[in-house]
A = this chain, B = another copy of it.
Amino acid sequence: MSTKNKILDAAESLFADKGFNGTSLREITSLAEVNLAAVNYHFGSKKELIKSVMSRYMDELAPNLVAALEDICDHPEQPTLIEVFSAFIEPLLSLNVFRQNGTSNFLQLLGRGYTDSQGFLRWFFTTQYPGVISNFVLAVQKSYPELTPEEIFWRLHFTMGTVVFAMSSSDALMDIAKNDFDKNLDIADVIQKVIPYVAAGVAAPINK
């Protein structure tokens, strides 16, 4: 495996675990078993390394996501919100074959991107991958036309928060569930649990 990819893999798992601020280049390079200077040689800076880690996932995920959402929009009949959200399942779970723990790593990184680094990653996503968001809004609008664009805006961000947060603590939650309820769940089960929740949330009656 190339030095570049060793760095990306090590950075990914450390970033997901401890955040961008909380991970030093020296931790990354020693986990990757490469020289410290290799990061700046191959990526230029830590900030560019962060972007590269995220791009590797987004470039894989975005086309699948857009395609799945376009399918829903092109379909003649009106979709349910459950169907809209379910469009995310297969592309997200396919990240697990793309990379070990890909799904949960990516979702954790997504959460970090929103809270760490004062939102420079939020800018990165919305400018680099606008198609995902706009197609998602279109699909929701088709499913629930009474919802105003403003209300969609808010509820989509609430949904983003729910999913990202649930997934970033999914390891801890699955452990608790195993202890308290004797249920052995995996990331796919958690996704199945969160979909009815967010679908109902987006479909909530509008508060006057």
On whether A19 and B18 interact (CB within 8 A), knowing A164-B165, A165-B164, the answer reads no
Question: Closest residue of chain B to A189, judged by CB?
Answer: B154
Contact B172 A119 (CB under 8 A): yes
Say if the beta carbon of A45 comes within 8 Å of chain B. no
Closest-CB distance, A186 to chain B (whole angstroms): 14
CA of A166 to CA of B164, assembled, Å:
11
Say if the beta carbon of A198 comes within 8 Å of chain B. yes
CA of A206 to CA of B200, assembled, Å:
11
Question: Closest residue of chain B to A149, judged by CB?
Answer: B181
Say if the beta carbon of A96 comes within 8 Å of chain B. no
Contact B155 A197 (CB under 8 A): yes
Say if the beta carbon of A67 comes within 8 Å of chain B. no
A188-208 toward B: CB 8 Å interface, digit per residue (1/0)? Answer: 001011111111111111110
Question: Closest residue of chain B to A171, judged by CB?
Answer: B119
Say if the beta carbon of A169 comes within 8 Å of chain B. yes
Question: Closest residue of chain B to A207, judged by CB?
Answer: B196
- A38-76, CB < 8 A from B: none
- A196: which of B19, B115, B169, B205 is its contact (CB, 8 Å)? B205
Contact A18 B118 (CB under 8 A): yes
Say if the beta carbon of A146 comes within 8 Å of chain B. no
Question: Closest residue of chain B to A112, judged by CB?
Answer: B115
